[in-house]
């Protein structure tokens, strides 16, 4: 009996999530696409045309995560030749701004979606993944793929909560990999590099900037207002038009993900880097004085003062 692999992916409404779900379906894998905005969207309809299975999913809601897992279980139960191959944690949010500026809700939502949301999904699927790994007749290992970030490898100013969430994802992924090595189940971190203009991940930045200003006390507002306003205006201009759900066309990112998804013995880390990212992130590793590292970070981000 030929085996058909099943892949469950979170955060497939746009950007990276939609692109990797579409590619997974085109590769012939049974793809269950978690959609935060629901299944009555153009993004969901387009995935359905590729024979993917869109499913409403909010990774911050335990009941929603359980429903997502149960839907995948039903597919496996109804089709004896289906085997669970991968769970991909792609759901993510990002708010840009100094840690002191961000509201408690912004900070907690970043951790809740990026780290705890991924943990909820993996906790729901781990027994099934482990069972698939132990019973699998395929040479390709079942796997967990957690989408991380360069910010998790090298934190940056203005990305404190986001960096913390992604550093947590990387550390947790390494631990999972060691814990399940004996079971034949692999855990992989995927760092896709920069693709903000092909994603809606900071589409809400303008409203976040206004909320930051409103949340500060008088002393903080007088100290930070000009910087927050300049950054908000800069980022609002950069995201003036919402990216289409299928805007991500970077073949290097997509092909690297396919390797993480299909390599028989997946590596611990798959990373995509432009020359600019490679240049700066290698400089960050050098033992420069702290002031020089701060200057490098400012040059790399190129945000208004």
Q: Are residues 129 and 77 in the same domain?
A: yes
Distance CA 264, CA 259 (A): 9
Q: Are residues 154 and 232 in the same domain?
A: no
**pLDDT value of position 227:** 96
Q: Are residues 230 and 143 in the same domain?
A: no
Which of 66, 275, 260 lies closest to 147 in space, CA to CA?
260
**pLDDT value of position 135:** 86
* Gyration radius (Cα) of the chain, Å: 20
Q: Enter the pTM of the model.
A: 0.96
**pLDDT value of position 84:** 97
In a domain? residue 222:
yes
Q: Are residues 109 and 44 in the same domain?
A: yes
In a domain? residue 44:
yes
In a domain? residue 187:
yes
Q: Are residues 82 and 226 in the same domain?
A: no
In a domain? residue 59:
yes
Look at the chain and count its residues. Answer: 305
**Number of domains comprising the chain:** 2
215 C-beta neighbours (distance < 10 Å), count: 15
95 C-beta neighbours (distance < 10 Å), count: 24
Beta strands in the chain, from DSSP E residues, in sequence order: 4-9, 30-35, 53-56, 82-89, 143-147, 186-191, 269-271
Q: Are residues 99 and 228 in the same domain?
A: no
Q: Tell me if 157 sits within 8 A of 90, measured CB to CB.
A: no
CATH number at residue 160: 3.40.50.720
What does each of the 305 residues of the chain score in pLDDT, given as a tens digit? 578 999 999 999 999 999 999 999 999 999 999 999 999 999 999 999 999 999 999 999 999 999 999 999 999 999 999 999 999 999 999 999 999 999 999 999 999 999 999 999 999 999 999 999 998 755 679 999 999 999 999 999 999 999 999 999 999 999 999 999 999 999 999 999 988 777 788 888 989 999 999 999 999 999 999 999 999 999 888 775 667 898 899 999 999 999 999 999 999 999 999 999 999 999 999 999 999 999 999 999 999 98
**pLDDT value of position 138:** 54
């Amino acid at each position: 009996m030929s085996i058909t692999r099943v892949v469950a992916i979170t955060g497939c409404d746009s950007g990276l999530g939609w692109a990797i779900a579409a590619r997974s379906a085109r590769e012939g894998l049974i793809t269950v696409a978690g959609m935060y905005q629901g299944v009555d969207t153009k993004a969901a309809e387009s995935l359905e045309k590729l024979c993917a299975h869109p499913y409403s999913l909010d990774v911050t809601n335990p009941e929603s995560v359980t429903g997502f897992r149960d839907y995948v279980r039903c597919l496996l139960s109804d089709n004896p030749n289906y085997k669970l191959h991968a769970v991909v944690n792609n759901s993510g949010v990002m708010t840009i701004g100094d840690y002191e500026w961000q509201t408690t809700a912004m900070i907690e939502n970043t951790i809740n979606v990026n780290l705890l949301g991924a943990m909820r999904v993996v906790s729901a699927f781990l027994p099934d993944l482990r069972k698939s790994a132990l019973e699998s007749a395929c040479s390709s290992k079942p796997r967990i793929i957690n989408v991380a970030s360069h910010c998790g490898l090298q934190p940056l100013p203005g990305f404190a909560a986001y960096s913390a969430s992604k550093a947590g994802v990387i550390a947790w992924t390494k631990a999972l990999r060691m814990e399940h090595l004996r079971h034949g189940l692999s855990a992989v971190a995927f760092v896709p590099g920069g693709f903000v203009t092909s994603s809606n991940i900071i589409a809400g930045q303008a409203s976040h900037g206004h909320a930051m200003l409103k949340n500060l006390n008088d002393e903080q507002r007088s100290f930070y207002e000009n910087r927050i306003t300049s950054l908000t205006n800069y980022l609002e201009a950069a995201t003036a038009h919402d990216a289409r759900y299928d805007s991500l066309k970077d073949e290097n990112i997509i092909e690297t993900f396919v390797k993480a998804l299909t390599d028989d013995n997946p590596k611990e880390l798959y990373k995509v880097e432009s020359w600019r990212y490679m240049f700066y992130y290698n400089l960050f590793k050098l033992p420069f004085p702290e002031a020089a590292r701060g200057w490098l970070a400012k040059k790399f981000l190129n945000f208004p003062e």
